[in-house]
Amino acid sequence: MHAIMLKAKLHRAEVTHAVLDYEGSCAIDGEWLDLSGIREYEQIQIYNVDNGERFTTYAIRGEEGSRIISVNGAAAHKAKVGDRVIICAYAHYSEAELANFKPRMLYMAPGNELSHTSNAIPVQVA
């Protein structure tokens, strides 16, 4: 049996570029790709906190240390510079892999400063 699980998340990253006339995809700071485990050309889901848009694209490597989040191509209609987004990647895991499963999550502060990382989401209280 397999399960689709959250593999990685960049929480509340700020869109730095929205480029309509580009081949497509989402450029993400290469350091964040490495830290999160998201691979170049991997499918990602983007959830726009500011306007509610949710869309699928793929990750491309942005310049290391640039703090870039560039939503490109048709997706540029769904996010504008300054919007806060949650970027997620999901993967299939076997029951054996789930025994040690931990997602990689990066939490962003204003200005796309990396606030902290985690491998668990706190329990939501009522």
| Catalytic annotation, residues | 25, 58
120 is in an annotated binding site: no
Rounded Cα gap, residues 107 and 20, in angstroms: 27
75 is in an annotated binding site: yes
DSSP 111: G
73 is in an annotated binding site: yes
H or E stretch at 113: strand 113-118
57 is in an annotated binding site: yes
Question: What number of residues does the chain have?
Answer: 126
Task: Summarize the annotated binding site for substrate as residue ranges.
Answer: 57, 73-75
Binding residues: 57, 73-75
